[in-house]
Amino acid sequence: MSPPSANGPLAGLKILEFGQIAAGPFAGSLLADLGADVVKVEKPDGGDDMRRWPPMSAGPDGPDYSENFASVNRIKEASRSTSKMRSRSRACASYASRPMRSSRISAPACSTAWGLAIKR
């Protein structure tokens, strides 16, 4: 994983990305390419479904990985809670307690279910 550009126009901005499959992760990768520090938050039961999309390649030190997943999730920090909703909410709240923005392409009810109120 390459570090994001420290000199990009979004340098210093922290983003929580809740996107799944293609559109959200792609948007997050564009923000990371522009220098933002993007943290990808995945569901604990298997992560982003795009992890299983072909084409699959053999990992250098382990299992196969999705080239599609890798292409839109490079330059990101990953956060996947191993327990259920409460722990995930705490982890997200911990990240969100710092100044940052949130990127999500999902129903607003998802944020509510995680206990994350969106302030406008």
119 in a structural domain: no
5 in a structural domain: no
Overall pTM surpassing 0.75 (yes/no): no
1 in a structural domain: no
Which whole number is the average pLDDT over 88-107?
58
Evaluate the CA torsion angle 91, 76, 31, 50 in order and state its sign.
Answer: negative
**Structural domain of residue 92, as residue ranges?**
14-113
Whether the pLDDT of residue 9 is over 90: the answer is yes
> Which residues lie closer than 8 Å to 32 by C-beta, 6 or more apart?
4, 15, 38, 74, 75, 76
2 in a structural domain: no
What pLDDT is stored for residue 82 in this prediction? 46
What pLDDT is stored for residue 35 in this prediction? 92
Q: Specify the higher pLDDT residue, 83 or 5.
A: 5
* Total number of domains in the chain: 1
